[in-house]
Every structure is written in C-alpha cells, then in structure tokens.
C-alpha cells in the first residue's frame, strides 16, 4: 500500500532549509536559488532586503494585482533616485509570496535585491523619504493608491532585514547559505491558498 506521509525536505543542494514550518515546495526552492544567482550575476555585491507588506486596517481590497503595482512603482522610484543622484546602476529584483491564514486579507513576504555598491542599507524604517526603507513604503502606498502616512504599520521590516552577499568575500558561501536558509521559509506550503486562480509566488526572471 502507498504511503500518504508528506515528504519533508531537509536540505536543498547541500544547503540548510527551514524545517519547522511544515512541508516545503521544491519548485519554489529552485526559483529562490535561481533568483539569488540572477541578482549576483548582475551585481557581485548584492543587498537583499526582507520586508512584509500588509494592508492597512479597514482597507478594502477590490483587486489582486497590488504586488505587481508595488514592483513597478519601486522600480520607477529607484530609476528616479539613480538619475537624480547619478549613483550608478541598480536593477531591482524580487522574490515574493502571498499568504493568508485567518485574516480577512492576504499579506506578502518579499525580498528585494539591489546593487550592494549603491544601496547597502534600509535606513530608518519610519522615514518618509531619503532612504531605501522609505522607497519601499512609498511604493506600497502607491500600489494601494493611498498616502504614505496611511500605511503606517502596514510595512514591516523584519529583524536582520538586510543581507549582504559579496562574491569577493572569503565567507561568501556562508553568506549565500544564510540567505537561502532565511528565504526557504517562502517555500512553505502552509498558509498559501491553492486553486483560487491567484498566484502565491513570484520571482524575477531577468
């Protein structure tokens, strides 16, 4: 007789993954690995910034493309910042997952990859302008069509939110493994809604 026991993934290509969040989706782990490599191929020193995007209290969700709007807005904000300050190049790349447990609205876990020689820190999380944290908040406000003050509490920067990967560092492999371990959480199957016609996971392709 066949077994219905879930196959739990303990490692991926020799790297540790999170095992306390239930079953992981291997195809998501593959995409996570591919996107990290994509970012590093463009910028050998890459900053990866983790953030959670939620909906403000009493916000009415009438569409499901807010994450696409956020990405487009953030890219435009970065282009404008680079042009204004003549700071070099930095094409943002992303991995995101949409989750929903018992709340009325979904929320998003996202990591933003940037050129680490240009953007190395988020800055003060509550800033309205002038740093990367503010640019992320501005992009989410734009995606929702609200003022930035209306999303206070809706953008959450996690502990140890910024990772720096540098191919020239002697501990580069450890940097990579640490980030992959952190992002393996994105591959968990729990709290994702399947079969509703919406995407639960997205990543940059170029």
CB 114 within 8 A of CB 90: yes
Both tokens of 74, joined, read: 């953030």
Residue 31 lies in a domain: yes
Confidence of residue 193 (pLDDT cuts 50, 70, 90): low
Q: What does the pLDDT look like over 20-65, one tens digit per residue?
A: 888 899 999 999 999 999 999 999 999 999 999 999 988 988 777 9
CA dist., res. 88 & res. 52, Å (int): 27
- pLDDT recorded at residue 5: 52
Q: Give the distance, in angstroms, between the CA of residue 59 and the centroid of all CA atoms in the same chain.
A: 22
Query: Which pLDDT score is estimated for 9?
Result: 79
Per the domain annotation, does 3 fall within a domain? no
Torsional sign, CA 100, 150, 70, 85? negative
Is residue 7 one of the residues assigned to a domain? no
Does residue 8 sit within a domain? no
Residue 13 has pLDDT above 80, yes or no: yes
Number of compact structural domains in the chain: 1
Which residue in the block uniquely carries the two structure tokens 């900053």?
Answer: 47
Residue 197 has pLDDT above 60, yes or no: no
pLDDT of residue 1: 44
pLDDT tens digits for range 62-111: 777 999 999 999 999 999 999 998 878 999 999 999 998 767 788 999 99
* Domain membership flag for residue 19: no
Instruction: Note the pLDDT of residue 64.
Output: 78
**What is the residue range of 109's domain?**
24-203
- Number of Cβ within 10 Å of residue 205's Cβ equals 9
Point out which residues pair with 108 in neighbouring strands: 53, 98
pTM, full prediction: 0.92
Geometric angle at alpha carbon 141, from 135 and 142, rounded to 5°: 85
**Mean pLDDT for all residues in the chain:** 90
Instruction: Flag whether 158 is in a domain.
Output: yes
**Cβ atoms 188, 22 nearer than 8 A:** yes
| Residue 142: inside a domain | yes
SS3 content of the chain, % helix, strand, coil (to 5): 35, 20, 45
| Residue 92 maps to a domain | yes
* Of residues 108, 118, 126, 125, the one with CA closest to residue 199: 108
């Amino acid at each position: 007789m066949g077994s219905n026991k879930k196959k739990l993934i303990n490692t991926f290509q020799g790297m540790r993954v999170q095992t306390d969040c239930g079953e992981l989706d291997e195809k998501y782990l593959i995409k996570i690995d591919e996107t990290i490599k994509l970012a590093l191929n463009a910028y050998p020193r890459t900053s990866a910034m983790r953030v959670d995007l939620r909906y403000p209290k009493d916000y009415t969700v009438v569409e499901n493309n807010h994450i696409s709007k956020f990405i487009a807005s953030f890219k435009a904000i970065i282009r404008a910042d680079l042009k204004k300050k003549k700071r070099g190049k930095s094409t943002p790349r992303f991995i995101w997952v949409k989750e929903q447990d018992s709340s009325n609205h979904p929320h998003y876990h996202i990591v933003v990859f940037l050129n680490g020689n240009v953007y190395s820190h988020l800055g003060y999380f509550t800033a309205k302008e002038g740093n990367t944290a503010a640019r992320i908040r501005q992009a989410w406000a734009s995606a929702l069509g609200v003022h930035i003050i209306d999303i206070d509490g809706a953008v959450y920067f996690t502990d140890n939110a910024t990772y720096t990967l540098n191919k020239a560092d002697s501990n580069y492999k450890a940097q990579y493994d640490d980030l992959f371990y952190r992002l393996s959480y994105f591959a968990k199957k729990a709290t994702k809604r399947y079969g509703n016609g919406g995407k639960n996971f997205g990543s940059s392709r170029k």
